[in-house]
Structure 1
Amino acid sequence: MDRPITLLVLQILFLSSVAVGGFITTVPELHRFVVDVHGWLNDGTFVALFALAQAAPGPNMIVVTLVGWEIAGATGAALATAAACLPTLVIAYTVSRFWSRYNNVGWYRTFERGVAPFAVGLILATGVILTDGAADDWKSYALTGSTIAFMLFSRRSPLIPLAIAAAAGLVGFV
């Protein structure tokens, strides 16, 4: 393996190992690593890959596959995907066995309740990083704020604000 893909795979292995709440919680660190530290991608490309991954059906960790593809082609995509899945698989298997044994113990329930706000905070950090990378004027921030309000106060499909944002981009509003 050449150096960029080796570094990317090692970073993704680490991120997948600490992803509490799904791989989406580690997207800010992945962004920092590939955009800010190594410059393999720019903000716009990273945000576009993330948006594509979110629009595609399937798991939200597909962004890893797209980043791997962008950096090292098909080999990068395959290795990045494997690196994202393997630690999660091992941890999920181990935790499920642990959970089935200790799920009725008080300290374990307290731990579960304590981890939830941590995961929510990581997901919010993902949103802040991606907004900062994609938004470049007040209109972009307004569109992002409207989408947040829509999602918080409506039970309608997230495809609605996505379609509105796409239309706004198409007509040159953002």
Structure 2
Amino acid sequence: MNELWALMTGLAPLSLMAVGGGTTVLADMHRLIVEQHGWMDDAAFARRYALAQAAPGPNILVVGLFGWHVAGPLGVIGATLAMCGPAFLLALGFAAMRRRLEGARWLRVAERGLVPMAIGLAAASALHLGGAAVAAWGPQPIVGAAIMVVTAAVVFFTKRSPLWMLAGGAVLGVLLIG
């Protein structure tokens, strides 16, 4: 029960910083779950994130998987409530306030300022998770790094669906890791 409480109190503040979605605070989730508490290693964290991304639905599903790992069925509920509850309440309050402040210059400036912040948070999470995935390759991190760079380049420079890269990564994982 202490682990569930620690997970919930760790995720709740992240909920308020997750501008742009839950994946923007993935690096902080990693710090909480892997580095601070040691509930799982880098590879397990990366696998759960990949599984959540492959499943249909919102990106925030990953916290349910983390919660399950830490505290079972109650962990799913607690982690999801901790990650979604505070942001929901903040958004509800902001929506009511925004109607009254419609047209205020400072509000438009603040809203535009959230865009680069969300992009920066997402980039930091991608780099952090990429490093964890590369480290999971053990003695051959160059292979993991090469796969990550090629995947990012193909997705960025072509019109191919990222699902092809996901499928290719699954095949490579089976072939190279076994």
TM-score by length of structure 2 reads: 0.91
Is 1:169 aligned to residue 173 of structure 2?
yes
Between the aligned residues of both structures, percent identity stands at 38
The answer to whether the 8 A contact 1:68-1:76 is kept is yes
CA distance in structure 2 between the partners assigned to 1:141 and 1:100 by the alignment:
47
The number of equivalent residue pairs is 173
TM-score by length of structure 1 reads: 0.93
Task: Specify the alignment match of 1:159 in structure 2.
Answer: 163
Task: Specify the alignment match of 2:8 in structure 1.
Answer: 9
Q: Which runs of 5+ in 1 are unaligned?
A: none
Q: Write the mapping of 1:115-130 to structure 2, written as runs, cut at 5 A.
A: 115-130=114-129
CA distance in structure 1 between the partners assigned to 2:174 and 2:100 by the alignment:
54
Task: Specify the alignment match of 1:25 in structure 2.
Answer: 24
Moved more, 106-115 or 34-43: 106-115
Q: Give the superposition deviation at 1:158.
A: 1.2
Task: Specify the alignment match of 1:41 in structure 2.
Answer: 40
CA distance in structure 2 between the partners assigned to 1:105 and 1:154 by the alignment:
40
Q: Give the superposition deviation at 1:173.
A: 6.9
C-alpha RMSD of the superposition: 1.5
Code of the residue aligned with 1:29 in structure 2: it is D
What SS class does the counterpart of residue 171 from structure 1 fall into?
A: helix
Q: Which runs of 5+ in 2 are unaligned?
A: none
Q: Write the mapping of 1:4-153 to structure 2, written as runs, cut at 5 A.
A: 4-135=3-134, 136=137, 137-153=141-157
CA distance in structure 1 between the partners assigned to 2:157 and 2:100 by the alignment:
39
